[in-house]
Structure formats: structure tokens, C-alpha cells
Amino acid sequence: MSKQINVALIGNPNTGKTSVFNALTGLNQKVGNYPGITVEKKQGVCKLPRGVKAHIIDLPGTYSLNASSLDESVVIELLLNKNDKDYPDVAVVVTDVENLKRNLLLYTQIKDLKIPTILVINMSDRMSYKGISLDIDYLETQLDTKIALISTRKGKGIEDLKSLIINYKTLSIESCIDIRNIDTNYFEGLEHVFPNQSLYKLWLVITQDVNFGKIDKNTINDATNFKTKSESDLKRLQQKETIKRYQFINNVLKKGQTIDLKSAKDIRIQLDRILTHKVWGYLIFLGILLLIFQAIYSWAETPMDFIDASFASLSEWLSTKLPDGVFTNLITEGIIPGLGGIVIFIPQIAFLFLFISILEESGYMSRVVFLMDKIMRRFGLSGKSVVPLISGTACAIPAIMATRNIESWKERLITILVTPFTTCAARLPVYLIIIALIIPEGTLLGIGYKPLTLLIMYLIGFAAAVGSAYLLNKIMKIRSKSYFVVEMPTYKLPLFKNVFITVVEKTKAFVFDAGKIILAISIVLWFLASYGPGDDFNNAEAIVTEQYASVNLTQDELDEKIASHKLEHSFIGITGKAIEPIIQPLGYDWKIGIGIVSSFAAREVFVGTLATIYSVGTDDEDTIKNRMAKETNPFIGGPLYNLASGISLLLFYAFAMQCMSTLAIVKRETNSWKWPILQLVTMSSIAYLIALIAYQVLK
């Protein structure tokens, strides 16, 4: 009578598991479903030497034993249930030589179930292309198993695998990691209550909603002398388990696997060698950023001028068509200029998102994350902080929410605190209008001064973020670091449809989200600028006419003086004048002060606010840019927006925490007002000081 052994083929998706199954079983296969569920069950028979028959079951692909789908639950159920007729005598974990690190996570979990486990490293024919070499003896010792290096494509190593299967009884069933190390007290308590059970199996029952033997989740929870943990605590321990496993895997692969990028022949590897190079990688990234900013300026200029002129004409046209009155003035002097202040930036923002989307679609963005990870580590942050910091270039709010996957609280807190320094899309309108006003035309090595200034502003934001992270890291002393795993996607040509949808969605979200706030603020500002208390406002016409009675002014000049007098004595003028002493040393007048205060709601409100303030009382057809360029400094004369005040304003917005929504998110994520208040005070103080120094040095 021949002997039969049960063999379970387990592995991550796309490791060639089914190819191994086919190579072992040939045509001796049958396909069915697991009882009660529509998960495919593939079984087959492999004839081994000495008359042994291997009953091979090809389990659904799974990344780990932390099940997130029905397919993955099937794997755990079978591996825990010794009474199942398919319970394996030996598990064969199939891995892909290119993704060994990720694939080994599952191997360590299967091994910890104390099932004899063979490690299959598939796709060995790709090793020379990828510059990979493996020390099999070392890996076998460290992983405490036997390894079959195979290539199902070339048909190599299958006989060695069969020989390992037949000798499965010689395999060690020692664990890779001791689960007790995750939380000693908790696991010792569990062991005390269930002394005869495997701790790792009990842990899987607790966390995965699966049963083994007579023990299920309720049995453990109801045990009177065992204190269960909350769901969030269990999740935390699961994360810790994964980190411990990757620490083990990293140590094993450090010596057991060598990747020599120089000998790699793959195009993707060749590209990666250049794009992630420690010098060329950064230079190429800087070059790409420069090209993007240059294109943004060159391509967006014409549509921007068109939008700016259209809004000015619309305002002028409506003022002649609509009947005179408060509401007409509100529309032509408040709402339209305010909205024009945001719509004008649609072309530049759309181009920015177009380039970002192309970089993401092509697979290059993952390389940027990898590059930035190297910098982050030098400043005490792990790679997991890279994703929030890079997404912060779009908006700090989702970026701060993305910090949730950082395990270490201190590291997460530091990332939350520094992310608002990165240049978000809301800063872009402020930067663009100020740069347009103060930076002259001209080029340096073929790159315009304006795009170069914009690039410098982005770099200042990033430097401020990593610099403050470094300081916070020194103050807060992070002990534990999160591990960061990024899978490099293959390079591919971006799909036009995907890029188009991203650009439309992101631009729409930016314009509509900011548009609603700007519309509301424009209305309020117009009222504050059109009404005022006391005689100075109400009798403005008489006061100004009398004041300039001896001067020969044209009617237009007199109207301008009256409008200016009224604005200065309106509610907004009084408020602006009250804060003027604080901002005057920075080179700003009270109107800029109002812009700064109102843009505390959102940075992009700044331009809309100024557009509204400069429009009140005027009925000439002029663009926002021209109106700003015409403003004169009330204290020292000359243009208000000159190099000194412009640079001061740019630096103020680079460092200031001008976003109420971000503060609200920080409060929500930290569940305390302490951190957003600290963030607001610190960032505003830094912004004020740097803007002050810049103005005083440059004036």
C-alpha cells in the first residue's frame, strides 16, 4: 500500500505558485470549490519516489496570515485545523526571487505554525538579469529550512523540490520569531490559561476570527482569568508583529542576498540605477521640477491673461447693464474680482497637476519617494514620513491624514507638525502673483528667473519641513522607527484617460473648495470696505472736496481721492489701520494686512481679498495684476510690491500656518488643541521673523 502525504502550496499572488503546482502534478488535477464558498480549490497528485503519493493542494494566493479577504481566510482555516482531511503534512511556500523580502513575511508566519515548511524560490532564471545572487546555505541555516531554487519557466529544480517533499520529516518545526516578544505580559497570560496550545495559533484565533480545534475567539474572551485587549490594541500588536518579522527578514537577507545593480541587465533596473542614483537621481528630479515650473509659466501665461482680462471686462460690462445700487456694486466690486482672483490660477494649477499625474502614472513618483526616503533618514524620520510630505505639495489635509500608518506616535506627531511647511497648491496663487510682480523677466542657463524663484520657494518649504523635523527629533528623541516598504512599479506610458481624469478632478476640487470660501469672504469684505462708522466715512465726499478745493484736480482724480478716503475710514480700513503697526516693519500696508488676516481661512484667499479691496470704489476696467502693480507704499513712496516687500511676503507665506482647516485636522488627529496651537504660534513667529529680516536686509 502506497503512502500519501498532504502538501499545501502557499504563496503571495504572482509568485508562479500555479506554475509550480502544474509542474508537480501535470495533468493529475481537479478543480472545485471550498465547501459553502465560491473560492476555487485546486488539488492534484504528484508521484514521488519510494511509492509515495503527494496530495497537493494549491491554496489561494495570500500576502500574509492577516486575512483581509475570503480567499485568505481559507488558507488560515486550513492551516489551523488539524482535523481537516487536507491539513498539510508539509507546507511549500513559493516565493519570487525578485520580491523575496516581501514574500518571506508569509513564510515566517507559516513556519511559526510549527508545520514543516519548504521554501521555494521561483523565477531563478531572472537572477542574472536582476543582478541577484543568493547564499542558499546561509539562507537555509538562518530560515531553518530547506530551500528549492527553481525555475518553472526553464523546468529547473522541480526534482530537487520533490526530493525535499519526500524527506519532509527531517525539516525543523522551530519558530522564526518568538511571539512572546511582542507583548510579554499579554502572551504569558494567554499561555497560562491555555498551557497546551500553540501561542501563535491562539494569536491567529484572537485576531483573525478563525477557529482551531475546540478553541474559538469566544472561548478565549470568556476565559475568566485572562484579560482581553481592545480591537485597536490588537491591531497595534499585529503591526508590531509585522515589524518584528521584517526585522528578522532584513537581518537574514542582509547577508543571504546580494543585489548587484551594476551587473543588472534589465531596462527597468538600468533606469532605476540612474533615476535612484545618489547624485544623478536628485539632479534629474531637480531638472524635472525646473522643467515643470518653466512649462507652467510659459504655457499658462496666455490663458491667465485672458481670464484676468475677461473678469475685468465682465465686471465693467455688468456695472453698465445692471441698475445702480448696493447689490450691483457687491457683484461688480466684490464677488467678480474676488472670484477672478482664484479662477485666474486654473491654468497653472491644471498644468501642475498634469505633470504630477504623469509622473505618478509613469511609475517615477515611487522612485522619488525612494530618493526622499534616503534624505528623511538623515533627518531622523523614516520613509513612512515621505508619503505625507510629498502629498503635502497638493494639500496638507490629506497629507496629515496619511500619517495614520506611521506606527511610532512621536514620529507621526513630528510628521504632522512639519507637513504644513511643504508648499501646498494653496500657496501657489500667492507665489505666482507676487513673483509676477517683483521678479524681472530674464533667464539663467535657459531657465526663466520666475520659474527658478518658484522652484526655490518649493525647496525652501521642503528644507523647512526636514529642518524642523530634525530639530523636533532632537527634542523629542524618537526611539522606535517605522519600517517603510515601497514596491517599485514597472515603468509605463501614462494612460491619457487616467491623466485627464486626475487633472480635471483635482483642479475642480481646488477651485470649488477654495471658490466657496473666497466667494463668502469677498462678500463680507466688500461690506466691511463699503460701510464705515462716523463722519469721516459718511461725509467723505465733502471732506475730500474741501481738502482739495485749492488744488486743480480732474473729476476722476477727485473721485479716486474720495474712494481712497472712504476705504481708509471703512470698517475694514479701521481694522487694517489697527494692525498696520505690526506689519509695517515687514514692508506691508494695511491692505496687505487685511489680505493676510483673511487668508488665515485659506492661503489662496489672499489674492481674492486684495482684488476685492483694490476694486472697491473704482469703476475702471483693470486686471488684478495691474491694480497691485499700481499700489504705492504710503510710508516711503514707490511701488508697494517691490523686491524687498515681495520677497518678505513670499517668505511669510512659505513659513506661516495660514490654514484653519489644517489646524482643525491637526486637532482631530492629535485629539488635543495643544499641538495645533503650538504649530500656529511657532510657524507664525518663524514667518514673521524671517519676513522681517528679509525686508530689512533688502529694502
Partner 1 sequence: MNTVLQNILAFSALSIALLFLFKTFVWWPKKKAKKACGETDCGCH
Smallest distance, partner 1 to C-beta of residue 305, A: 29
The residues binding partner 1 (CB under 8 A) are 230, 232, 235-236, 239-240, 322-323, 325-328, 330, 404, 406-410, 412-413, 480, 516-517, 519-521, 523-524, 527, 601, 660, 664, 668-672
CB nearer partner 1, residue 15 or residue 670: 670
Smallest distance, partner 1 to C-beta of residue 664, A: 6
The grid coordinates listed for 482 are: 517605522
CB nearer partner 1, residue 306 or residue 512: 512
CB nearer partner 1, residue 396 or residue 650: 396
Q: For residue 606, give every residue at least 6 positions away whose Cβ sits within 8 Å of its Cβ, in sequence order, or none.
A: 429, 430, 595, 596, 598, 599, 653, 658
Residue 559's identity, in one-letter code, is: D
Smallest distance, partner 1 to C-beta of residue 324, A: 8
DSSP string, 240-272: HHHHHHHHHHHHHHHHHEEE-GGG---HHHHHH
CB nearer partner 1, residue 301 or residue 669: 669
Smallest distance, partner 1 to C-beta of residue 351, A: 28
Residue bearing cell 519557466: 153
Is 14 in contact with 94 (CB distance < 8 Å)? no
Smallest distance, partner 1 to C-beta of residue 181, A: 14
CB nearer partner 1, residue 234 or residue 629: 234
Is 391 in contact with 449 (CB distance < 8 Å)? no
CB nearer partner 1, residue 265 or residue 674: 674
Smallest distance, partner 1 to C-beta of residue 578, A: 21
Smallest distance, partner 1 to C-beta of residue 385, A: 13
Which DSSP state fits 422? S
Alpha helices in 604-656 (DSSP H): 605-615, 624-630, 643-655
CB nearer partner 1, residue 664 or residue 693: 664
Smallest distance, partner 1 to C-beta of residue 408, A: 6
Which DSSP state fits 659? B
Smallest distance, partner 1 to C-beta of residue 184, A: 15
E strands of 29-111, at which residues? 29-33, 40-47, 53-58, 90-96
Give the torsion through C-alpha atoms of 18, 23, 29, 33, to 10 deg: -10
CB nearer partner 1, residue 286 or residue 520: 520
Smallest distance, partner 1 to C-beta of residue 242, A: 13
Cα–Cα dist 215/232, whole Å? 23
Smallest distance, partner 1 to C-beta of residue 240, A: 7
Smallest distance, partner 1 to C-beta of residue 237, A: 9
E strands of 225-370, at which residues? 257-259
CB nearer partner 1, residue 491 or residue 600: 600
What is the enclosing helix (H) or strand (E) of 9?
A: strand 4-11
Smallest distance, partner 1 to C-beta of residue 683, A: 18
CB nearer partner 1, residue 132 or residue 517: 517
- CB contact burial 520-555 (16+ within 10 A = b; e otherwise): ebbbebbebbbebeeebbeebeebbeeeeeeeeeee
**What are the backbone angles phi and psi of residue 493, rounded to the nearest 5°?**
-70, 130
E strands of 67-194, at which residues? 90-96, 117-122, 132-134, 146-149
**Longest CA pairwise span in the chain (Å):** 125
CB nearer partner 1, residue 48 or residue 335: 335
Smallest distance, partner 1 to C-beta of residue 673, A: 11
Smallest distance, partner 1 to C-beta of residue 671, A: 4
CB nearer partner 1, residue 221 or residue 672: 672
Q: At how many degrees (to 10) do helices 280-321 and 449-476 cross?
A: 120
CB nearer partner 1, residue 500 or residue 673: 673
Q: How many residues are recorded in the chain?
A: 699
Neighbour-count burial of 644, counting CB atoms closer than 10 A to its CB (0-12 exposed, 13-18 middle, 19+ buried): middle
CB atoms within 10 A of CB 30: 10
CB nearer partner 1, residue 351 or residue 526: 526
Residue 529's identity, in one-letter code, is: A
Q: For residue 557, give every residue at least 6 positions away whose Cβ sits within 8 Å of its Cβ, in sequence order, or none.
A: none
Cα–Cα dist 28/627, whole Å? 82
The grid coordinates listed for 678 are: 503650538
Cα–Cα dist 438/443, whole Å? 15
Smallest distance, partner 1 to C-beta of residue 200, A: 21
CB nearer partner 1, residue 409 or residue 500: 409
Q: For residue 118, give every residue at least 6 positions away whose Cβ sits within 8 Å of its Cβ, in sequence order, or none.
A: 90, 91, 92, 93, 145, 146, 147, 148, 161, 164, 165, 168, 171
CB nearer partner 1, residue 231 or residue 487: 231
